Amino acid sequence: MTNTSNAKVGDSAITTSANTGKNSRNKRSVERKLAELKRRLLEISDLGAAGAVLSWDQATYMPKNGAGARARQNATLSKLVHEKSVDPALGKLLDELEPHASSLPGDSDEASLIRVARRDFEKANKVPIDYVARAREFGSVSYDAWTRARPANDFTSMRPFLEKAVDLGREYAEFFAPYKHVADPLIDDADEGMTTASMGALFAELRKELVPIVSAISNQPAIDDHCLRGTFSEPSQLDFGLSVVKQFGYDLERGRLDKTLHPFCTKSSAGDVRITTRVDESRIGEALFSTLHEAGHALYEQGVSSKFEGTPLGTGASAGVHESQSRLWENIVGRGRAFWQHFYPVLQHIFPDQLHGVTLETFYRAINKVERSLIRTDADEVTYNLHIMMRFDLELGLLEGHLQVKDLPEAWHERMQADFGLVPTDDRDGCLQDVHWYMGAIGGGFQSYTIGNILSAQFYAAAIKARPGIPSETATGEFCTLHDWLRTHVYQYGRKFKPTELVERATGGEMNLGPYLCYLRAKYGEFYRLPNV
């Protein structure tokens, strides 16, 4: 109601005026509270951003001996973030804003902000502050130890860290008791709405489809991928990767690429979303695909609407949805034939001697070679999910307590034998290979990759359906239409919608295996004989 509508006389006018006064006082009060809510959330976001910069620094440029103090500094920041996240004054504000939120359409920005802020507040309130500081400091120290232990193949030195990580995972779960499964609270943190049971069912369904495919492919002659080996200079590899992701739409005025041990993407603001990669000069592929992968995450974060900056809505919807974007750009786009129709000549120009006489088709097959292998991050699209399932199951074993950390290397070997017919010769390529278990509490860290694979195909299928020109655009090295569709239907919303709702809105249906299996069968059926469905 505006003041101009207030032109009556007599009692009714007085009443209206009084109501208007009351309404506008209410409105002002709500506005004040919303502003105060946003101020508090911004402070939390700023401290989180500072932590992100400190972690990026630790993983890129920090001198070796900075690790001890950095662990403590990160812990101090986490503790403060937590203190501010559980401040009763924040809870009171959220309570007071509840009637306002209820009066709004459920999909309005403000209602979503209040809903998500409440979810975060309630979750944070279950976790004691001392746990947060301990877990963060431990994560930093453990990561630092892992960076030395993995190259040294030294699982023994990591055992106490991993035992502690299991304890921390269990301790965390207890804060959310009662639960159906000890891993549920950890999974829900990463992928809202998913549980150990629902993931188990999804994995079982996927496994039933994948195992015969992998098995059929393994009985066929291996694809020759020796063209990917040679000497590929680091700067050229980095430059090529950067030129590709720039073409994807990654904005370098709001980002940068650096080298690290275990690639990641990090955001400290909408204007600062960085990616990292690692380079092996003896192989073309690792640096490139990890750059494309992280750029997928970065495109998502750079695409979140700036109106959500500094609020809990200003980031991706969940770990799984995030992973769908890294996998979409890395695999569906970056390992696709259309992509290489444009970029292979460019790559040949950069590495003329190394790729001399190697045809596009040879190269395309090489980068898509399906092979039972030891290292998850190097795995092809078909076997990748088997790596995830294995880690997910071992993690459950550790959390449930029927697998002891001391027995992990052996359990790893057994499962590798069973699923891949392979056994790593050392722990470096075995249970030391993933950073996830060595950076804090374990649990809930792996299912997102498979959710991501599934959703990547589902989002891509929806995009193609809406904009059929995408593949031919890709073949000319242009990605505007795809990027634009993803920004419009996924990225811009940040955490505004629950993952399930976001998927529904963008693809018109629930998460389902259909598009992913279709994609795998179509792509790999071109150069492998696959079992009939």
Nearer to a second copy, 254 or 436 (CB): 254
Alpha-carbon distance of 338 to 479, in angstroms, equals: 11
Using CB under 8 A, pick the residue from 37, 41, 80, 490 that binds a second copy.
80
Applying CB under 8 A, does 69 fall inside the site for a second copy? Answer: yes
Binding residues with a second copy: total (CB under 8 A): 40
For residue 176, give both structure tokens: 């959310």
Stretch that binds a second copy, among 10-18, 64-72, 203-211, 212-220 (CB under 8 A): 64-72
CA angle 394, 173, 322 (to 5 degrees): 70
Applying CB under 8 A, does 356 fall inside the site for a second copy? Answer: no
Compute the least distance from the CB of residue 55 to a second copy, in Å: 10
Nearer to a second copy, 225 or 258 (CB): 258
Applying CB under 8 A, does 234 fall inside the site for a second copy? Answer: no
Applying CB under 8 A, does 368 fall inside the site for a second copy? Answer: no
CA angle 445, 436, 276 (to 5 degrees): 105
Q: Give CA separation, 357 vs 282, 351, 354, in Å.
A: 19, 12, 9
**Which stretches of 275-336 are DSSP H helices?**
286-303, 319-327
Alpha-carbon distance of 404 to 410, in angstroms, equals: 10
Query: 517: closest CA among 204, 200, 210?
Result: 210
Applying CB under 8 A, does 61 fall inside the site for a second copy? Answer: yes
For residue 507, give both structure tokens: 């693809």
Site string for a second copy, 300-339 (x = CB under 8 A): ---------xx-----------------------------
Alpha-carbon distance of 220 to 262, in angstroms, equals: 33
Applying CB under 8 A, does 53 fall inside the site for a second copy? Answer: yes
H-run or E-run covering 18: helix 10-60
Using CB under 8 A, pick the residue from 269, 373, 404, 512 that binds a second copy.
269
Using CB under 8 A, pick the residue from 30, 33, 38, 76 that binds a second copy.
76
Which SS3 state, helix, strand or coil, does residue 107 take?
coil
Query: Where in 244-263 is the site for a second copy (CB under 8 A)?
Result: 251-256, 258
Query: Where in 11-40 is the site for a second copy (CB under 8 A)?
Result: none
Query: Where in 134-193 is the site for a second copy (CB under 8 A)?
Result: none
Compute the least distance from the CB of residue 241 to a second copy, in Å: 17
Residue 43 appears among annotated catalytic residues? no
* Ramachandran quadrant class, 279 (left: phi over 0; alpha: psi -120 to 50; beta: rest): beta
Applying CB under 8 A, does 73 fall inside the site for a second copy? Answer: yes
Alpha-carbon distance of 243 to 226, in angstroms, equals: 25
What single-letter amino acid sits at 447?
Q
Applying CB under 8 A, does 66 fall inside the site for a second copy? Answer: yes
* SS3 assignment for 116-150: HHHHHHHHHHHCCHHHHHHHHHHHHHHHHHHHHHC
Question: What is the DSSP pairing of strand 272-277 with strand 257-259?
Answer: parallel
- Kindly name the residue from 137, 192, 286, 294 that is annotated as catalytic: 294
Compute the least distance from the CB of residue 151 to a second copy, in Å: 17
Contacts with a second copy, residue ranges (CB under 8 A): 42-43, 46-47, 49-51, 53-54, 57, 61-70, 72-73, 76-77, 80, 251-256, 258, 268-272, 274, 309-310
Residues involved in catalysis: 294
